[in-house]
Amino acid sequence: MQKVELEIVALSHSITQSNSYAVILGEVGGVRRLPIVIGGFEAQAIAVALENMQPSRPLTHDLMKNFMTSFDIQLQEVYICDLQEGIFYSKLVCYTANDTLEIDSRTSDALALAVRFGCPIYVYSHILEQAGLENETGEKTKSPTTTIASNAAPSNDLSSMSIAELNALLNEVLEQEDYIRAIDIRDEIAKRNEQKKS
């Protein structure tokens, strides 16, 4: 079966399910998108890796990567291999010195590990044809163009806060390990600092 390479292009709150997120995978060099609903924990794990944040304690996916690396297991690729009743199924392709293994995985966990290992993400072409959406603008996905959108902290709430309040809030949400909200706050601080330079 033919595989199509994907990349993470967006991560946001799910419109269809409360307390869930949607990760949007874009076809590399193409115009199709594949939205996948994932849980909040997995969304944070993906966001932390995409933003190169360093949590005070390793997250589960960091632990998994450390474990694999310690035993010389390399994650070469992940691929979405099936879609049944709206649920995506994935596999991890792992190499050791002596063997190649394909391990079943939830798609959200596979994506969180793929980001950490920097390995490619694939989907079988028939799954992309079945569940993919055409980019409305018709623009091809450009690499890397990751956007992380969150409704957890609306920008208008942040815009009314001072820099000192934003920094205090950032420290607070980092202590609570709410990394998706931390991204919004960090972006607001960066925007303010950029405006000062102008």
The predicted-structure confidence for 100-147, as pLDDT tens digits, reads as follows: 999 999 999 999 999 999 999 999 999 999 998 886 555 555 444 444
Contact, 58 vs 48, CB < 8 A? no
Q: What is the pLDDT of residue 151?
A: 46
Residue 95 scores a pLDDT above 90? yes
Instruction: Spell out the CATH class of 3-148.
Output: alpha beta
Helices 107-117 & 60-70 angle (0-180, nearest 10): 60
Give 68-93 pLDDT, tens digit per residue: 999 999 999 999 999 998 899 999 99
CA dihedral of 8, 14, 16, 19, whole degrees rounded to 10: 140
- Please give the backbone phi and psi of residue 167, each rounded to the nearest 5 degrees, phi first: -65, -40
Tokens of 46: 């993906």
Give the list of residues 6+ apart from residue 53 with CB closer than 8 angstroms, or none: 47, 179, 182
Residue with tokens 């815009």: 159
Residue 150 scores a pLDDT above 90? no
Q: What is the pLDDT of residue 139?
A: 57
Amino acid residing at 40: G
Residue 149 scores a pLDDT above 90? no
| Cα 24–chain centre separation | 8
The CA R_g of the chain, rounded to the nearest whole Å, is 18
Q: What is the DSSP secondary structure assignment for residue 140, as one 8-state letter?
A: P
Q: What is the pLDDT of residue 38?
A: 92
Amino acid residing at 44: Q
Q: Look over the chain and give the mean of its residue pLDDT values, rounded to a whole number.
A: 85
CA gap 174, 153 in Å, rounded = 14
| Cα 13–chain centre separation | 12
For the chain, give every domain's residue range. 3-148, 155-197
Q: What is the pLDDT of residue 138?
A: 56
Segment 11-38 shows an average pLDDT of 84
